[in-house]
Amino acid sequence: MTTVYDFSAKTIQGEERKLAAFRGKVLLIVNTASECGFTPHYAGLEKLNKKFAGEGFSVLGFPSNQFGAQEPGSEAEIARFCETNYGVTFPMFAKVEVNGPNAHPLFKHLTSEKTGLLGTEAIKWNFTKFLVGRDGKVAARYGSSTKPEALEDPIRRLL
């Protein structure tokens, strides 16, 4: 059975990284954007990352420009924005598409494993969150309006 550990992605620094490097951790995989009404979620994501990192948890951020062109910058600009404005220390990856024929294979997997409302696979907006168990299987999907702090209990249950 396919898990998130079967995929790799380019980091925001441009290096290919196998997600198998996160094997055994609980992950929160999020499509992000710097110019979105939900951009302040970065603060909550960083707080979750710091709170649970010592227990085997990590947030993984994947910028995407697919929703309202709200992530127009280069990888260097995105990295600088996240660090300067939100002190992001969790792994960030290069910009990806999350929907459509050019969607990153990881996001094709995530959306097929946990569909959205009414069974739709497509991601509706920035800051959709996928919670992944230590076994690499997708445990839950949360929409943009779900604040990161609301995920503490589901994360704790998987830890």
Which token pair is 152? 């503490």
Q: Which residues pair with 30 in a beta bridge?
A: 61, 129
> What structural domains and CATH numbers belong to the chain?
4-158 (3.40.30.10)
Extended beta strands in 33-111, E state = 57-63
Mark the ranges of the chain whose per-residue pLDDT is less than 50.
Answer: none
Which residues, at least 6 apart from 107, have a Cβ–Cβ distance to it below 8 Å? 31, 62, 96, 97, 98, 99, 123
Contact 109, 4 (CB under 8 A): yes
Q: What is the pLDDT of residue 122?
A: 86
Amino acid in position 67: F
Q: What is the pLDDT of residue 139?
A: 97
Half-sphere exposure of 36 (CA within 13 A, CB side): 28
Q: Which residues pair with 9 in a beta bridge?
A: 17
Q: What is the pLDDT of residue 115?
A: 76
The active-site residue out of 36, 79, 98, 123 is: 36
**36 a catalytic residue:** yes
Amino acid in position 94: A
Amino acid in position 36: C
